[in-house]
Amino acid sequence: MQWRGLTLRNRNHYNARRTGGFGRFNELSVGDASGMAVEIGAIYDGTVVKILKYGAIVRLEDGASGLVHISEIADRFVHDVGDYLREGDAVKVKVTGDKGGGRFEMSAKQAGALEPIEGTPSAHASRPRASRTISAEFDDRLATFMKSSNQRLGEIRRGREVRRRGGRK
């Protein structure tokens, strides 16, 4: 059933209040059959339903669900979603968009960044940077390689010049 570009689905309802003329609305809220509307930009409590490689499915208290993408979990790089979330965990999320059909785009980072779960690889202190000795060793190897490479190139160039002249003089 369509009404002014909005599709009514059996599990969701759409409320729209018309401001007058030309089918414009000043309020559009999307919610489930229980009547609670989910507002874009609001922060809600939810429960992690499923962990995926690229994020987590979170179900809000009113029954609506959505994806928290891996890039929206923490302020730093997240290698594995399981380092931050587990199924059944309670989490605060900010609804950032509507995908239709009662599904939403969500962000845990915007609602307050999550910390890694204790005992996971990401929970350990960040890896120490390479020490100066390793860096110096690399620099030495690179200098040796560049020197030998330049010598070989010089020999090749001299060989070409000799052939162009027609022999040694």
Q: What is the pLDDT of residue 103?
A: 87
What superfamily in CATH does domain 2-123 come from?
A: Nucleic acid-binding proteins (2.40.50.140)
Residues β-bridged to residue 13: 31
Residues β-bridged to residue 64: none
Would you say residue 46 has pLDDT above 70? Answer: yes
For 60, list phi and psi in degrees, rounded to 5: -80, 165
CA-to-CA distance for 16 and 28, rounded, in angstroms? 5
Q: What is the pLDDT of residue 118?
A: 76
Cβ atoms < 10 Å from Cβ of 73: 22
pLDDT digits (tens, 9 = 90+) for 94-130: 999 988 887 899 999 898 877 888 776 654 445 555 5
- List the structure tokens of 32: 């489930």
Kindly report the average pLDDT of the chain as a whole number. Answer: 75
Query: Mean of the pLDDT values across residues 66-73?
Result: 92
Q: What is the pLDDT of residue 7?
A: 43
For 126, list phi and psi in degrees, rounded to 5: -60, 150
Which ranges of the chain does DSSP label H, i.e. alpha helix?
132-165
CA-to-CA distance for 3 and 107, rounded, in angstroms? 31
pLDDT digits (tens, 9 = 90+) for 133-145: 667 888 889 999 9
